[in-house]
A and B are shown apart, each in its own frame.
Chain A
Amino acid sequence: MKKQLVVIGNGMVGHHFAEQWMASEMAADYELHVFAEENQRAYDRVHLSEYFEQQSSAHLQLGDDGFYALPGIHLHLNEAVITLDREAKSVTTAQGQYSYDTLVFATGSYPFVPPIDGRELDHCCVYRTLQDLDVIRASAQGATRGVVVGGGLLGLEAANALRMLGLEAHVVEFAPRLMPVQLDSDAGSLLRTKIEDLGVKVHTEKTTRKIIPGDEQRLRMCFADETYLETDLIVFSAGIRPQDQLAREAGLRLGERGGIAVDQHCRTSDPSIYAIGECAVWNNQQYGLVAPGYTMARVAAAHMIGNVGTTFTGADMSTKLKLLGVDVGSIGDAHGATPGALNYRYSNEIEGVYRRLVVSADGSKLLGAILVGDNSYYDTLLQYALNGIELPEYPESLILPESSGTGAPSLGASALPYEATLCSCHNVTKGDICEAMNDGAVSLSDIKSMTKAATGCGGCAAMVKTVFESELEARGVQVDKSICEHFSHTRQELFHLVKVEGIQTFDELIERHGQGGGCEICKPAVASILASVWNEHVHETKHLPLQDTNDTFMANMQKNGTYSVVPRIPGGEITPKMLIKIGEVGEKYNLYTKITGGQRIDLFGATLDELPLIWEELIAAGFETGHAYGKSLRTVKSCIGDTWCRYGVQDSMTMAIRLENRYKGMRSPHKVKMAVSGCTRECAEAQSKDIGVIATENGWNLYVCGNGGMKPRHADLFATDLDDETLIRYIDRVLMFYVYTADRLQRTSVWLENLQGGLKYLKEVVIEDSLGLAEELETRMQHIVDTYQCEWKTAINDSEKRKRFRSYVNASEPRKARIQLIEERGQLIPARMITEEEVA
């Protein structure tokens, strides 16, 4: 007869164990019996609350339908184990008696209900199983208010569930703050404010003495401070306790505070009995998360088949979740309990974010962290903490907002060590992902099915994707870069299709090559491609709905809904008369006026109605649009060069103006900046521009793909001592090749870094014409130069186009009357804070 392996409990961990076991070579020698107290097979308890949203539990089921039908496995649903006889090595259920050779406890936890008088009344519920949720749903019928006892992680989740059932939700917490285990008091009170803003009432430092029938509502909770709260239903979520009763009765050794004590192989005090998941305690510690439970399942299975090298020695309890839509994260030693630990804190009450770093005494390692309001910082911080990665010189940079507002800094995937654990639910390291790729995984779903990464709590999904893609790239594989759900093409492919098939409109393109109605990603990308290829006015009716407001109204929208006006000032050269004109216009329309970082002048605060009036005056004075809004040429910065400067060796001003006028009409994947310096002293900072030109005794040196913005990049020297005409030819080719092949919103710096073959390849294409494309690239650029029009000039001369610039199509009330401005240093700026009433 085959040996008998019995598992008590078919929860998340019991199921994971069964899967591990069935995949092992010993499975064939055993009969596996799994006993489940619940009446359905294992389901995803982590996402239990989705049962309320989806009205069904089918999607929560774990494992394939066929799994428990495999030969050698027997699932006993609705059959709880009642007694364990260790002498006889058998368990009994209501249905019968079963003997075992090896036994595994996976009985999980039960919700702790504090011993309060009245807790057994109707409408007092708990939150653990699908059945519990059915009870709560039934109780919510005809109810108006629900109270959750316990302001921890699960309690807040339960409060959200009550809210979704249409109840007024209250949370009653015994401690002075919410989530006392994971958060400090600043974080707890911020979370409280956010949750109260969502309409959940929070009562802290309240101890419930008894529950009695209510007057107005079904129940009345009487608190120790003599106050009371009436409610129609109560959900207890005051913690969990390991389900250890059977083990206790059978005389197995327990932990100090309960739970079945196990060693590093997850073995109990009886060598033929193991315990895994929430019913087990290692080192007196219970692990109330699924990831450590899964690790225990793997360790126990490994030990049974004779692998003693895999051990369980504690687990990371970091958590990241969205509670009632509020991001909360807690990593490692969040409270700074380690001796000597030091803290960094960032708190922004206006935006409602709080971040705390706990670092080692010498400031070199991250011990823990707390996040409220923005979890984009979580993945990177977790990697620092888990892998003991050396912190940067200024650790606070990891939690300070980036001034550019691009969110959390990320730790490059390539910087992670191979041992770095990415997915703690399934214990998948970066090395495992690489191995799966060696074994043929070519998509994210391959990775998921081969390694199981990102299939547990899902918290690691973004990180796994980044690592997978960076590995693919490292192997020279093209990563799926579909621009959005409407087109499964890259920008380059779309560009090619538009050009080759002569496609003129978005509708035509989406009909032939896409699906659905488009979005804010594909519409502007296609508009930019159409403009690069056909160079039609952005205001043609067919292109209008594709543009973001900046392109539609040919001005950049500012934070208060007004727009900015930036006339072109090629090379920064301007006559005093023109300067005065700008001054006059600024004064007349009361615009805030500033010299920009790009050698020109920006006028801020114009309303839609004012834009055409302002431009009318500027154009009459000889100005043109500066394209500060488009993905197009911004400025060609210049120094004064040999015109005035004693060191200048070429006429940098004339060259800069020539370049600016040549490329000003171009639409490109991202904006393009250029500069021309009159000598090697480089006063125009040409080496930080997309196209940089520096004068030499013999001509010009051309630099390409520099950047000064978010991630500065020094431009590469591309060619030396060029004459004027060759310089222009090369720039034409480089730019058009960029327009042909870059991704959307990819600056030339990033484009070059991602271009296979890099600078050498670019030189081959542009200088040696290795693709035979040079002539086409030049012709296309010439077409753009020849069809240039000042978009503002076209717009103000067309009454139909001007109609678009009405702030309200049916009101004569000027928009400006509704905008709050205050004076600062003699000019008007947006009122700094808009209060609730003003917004409403």
Chain B
Amino acid sequence: MNAALTASLQWQNVCHRKDLVPHSGIAVMLGKEPVAVFWLPGHDTELYAIGHTDPFSGSEVLAHGILCESQGIWSVASPLYKQHFRLDTGRCIETPDVGVDVWAVRMEQDWVQIGKVLIG
């Protein structure tokens, strides 16, 4: 993401570091929007935030899927029908026309913050 865009984001605390589960996900509310936050400690990108609602079922479940790696690309497997959603772009790997929103996310002094402007 470019610096200008980062600067213009409105960062909002969504949870504490202690709420995260390593190598897995949790759900938070961003206003009225349910968001799944994933934590991969020790990786180049440690935090990801994507929509929590699975577009195939319309149900809020994505934070509870298993994280998968293939050729360096990380995704989450929906716990319902097992489609994979990329953590970086939100795209569904099996059906690239379908995807979920992606938000900027960062850790500031042990607080997880989501950038209020949509980036993906």
Contact = CB atoms under 8 A, between A and B. Distances in A.
A516 B66 contact: no
Interface stretch (B3-11, B54-62, B102-110): B54-62
A549 interface: yes
A402 to B, nearest CB: 15
B58 A838 contact: yes
A834 B56 CA distance: 11
A739 B106 CA distance: 43
Contact of B64 (A325, A485, A549, A811): A549
Nearest to B72: A516
A519 B69 contact: yes
B63 to A, nearest CB: 9
A559 interface: yes
Nearest to A815: B60
A808 B66 contact: no
B62 to A, nearest CB: 10
A804 B18 CA distance: 11
A708 interface: no
B120 interface: no
Nearest to B69: A517
B26 A325 contact: no
B70 interface: yes
Nearest to A834: B58
The residue in A486, A549, A553, A809 that gathers the most chain B C-beta atoms within 10 A of its C-beta is: A809
A523 interface: yes
A279 to B, nearest CB: 37
Given A561-B57, A809-B19, A839-B58, A520 B77 contact: yes
B68 A519 contact: yes
Interface in A521-551: 523-524, 541, 544-550
Contacts of B24: 544-545, 552
Contacts of A486: 69
Interface in A795-813: 803-804, 806-811, 813
Nearest to B20: A809
Contact of A809 (B23, B28, B59, B68): B28
Nearest to A800: B18
Contacts of A815: 60
A520 B15 contact: no
Nearest to B79: A549
Interface string A813-840: 1010010000000000000001000110
B119 interface: no
Contacts of A185: none
A520 B82 contact: yes
B58 A485 contact: no
B60 A561 contact: yes
A486 B54 CA distance: 26
A250 interface: no
A545 B66 contact: yes
21 contacts: A516-B69, A517-B74, A519-B68, A519-B77, A520-B68, A520-B77, A544-B24, A545-B23, A547-B66, A548-B79, A549-B61, A549-B79, A553-B64, A557-B61, A559-B80, A809-B19, A809-B27, A810-B19, A811-B29, A813-B29, A838-B58
Interface of B: 14-15, 19, 21-24, 26-29, 34, 53-55, 57-61, 64-70, 72, 74, 77, 79-80, 82, 95-97
Given A561-B54, A808-B28, 19 more contacts: A325-B95, A516-B69, A517-B68, A520-B82, A541-B22, A544-B24, A545-B23, A548-B65, A549-B61, A550-B79, A557-B79, A560-B59, A561-B60, A561-B80, A808-B34, A809-B15, A810-B19, A818-B60, A839-B58
